Amino acid sequence: MPKYVMWGSYCEDVLEKRAPYRQVHLDGLAKQKESGVLITIGPTQDLTKVFGIYEAPDQDTVRQLVENDPYWKNGVWTEYTIKEWIQAF
């Protein structure tokens, strides 16, 4: 199954803005991880970017996962891109 890399950006004041949605966000990611579609995800140290790796049938599946996340729906993530990734090792 193809793998996809997602890069995104966080809003300003991310710590305050994410607080009301954080637990629902983390619970959703845990379910994605359990199902095998999410390989890994997390913020950069400076909390400006988010990086994730997904294993999914197609890019649209990943896009739906991102856009249904409460961080996207509530403006915590402000933009993102998805690229199919070829894992060499």
pLDDT per position as a tens digit, 15-61: 999 999 999 999 999 999 999 999 999 999 999 999 999 999 999 99
Cα separation values, 52 from 12, 65, 83, Å: 20, 11, 11
Q: What pLDDT was estimated at residue 88? A: 92
**According to the model, what pLDDT value does residue 86 have?**
94
Q: C-alpha angle 43/30/17, rounded to 5°?
A: 45
Three-class SS state of 51: strand
The model carries a pTM of: 0.93
* Residue 73 φ/ψ region, left for φ over 0, alpha for ψ in the -120 to 50 degree band, beta for the rest: alpha
Q: What pLDDT sits at residue 89? A: 92
pLDDT tens track for 58-88 = 999 999 999 999 999 999 999 999 999 999 9
Closest CA to 18 of 77, 80, 76: 76
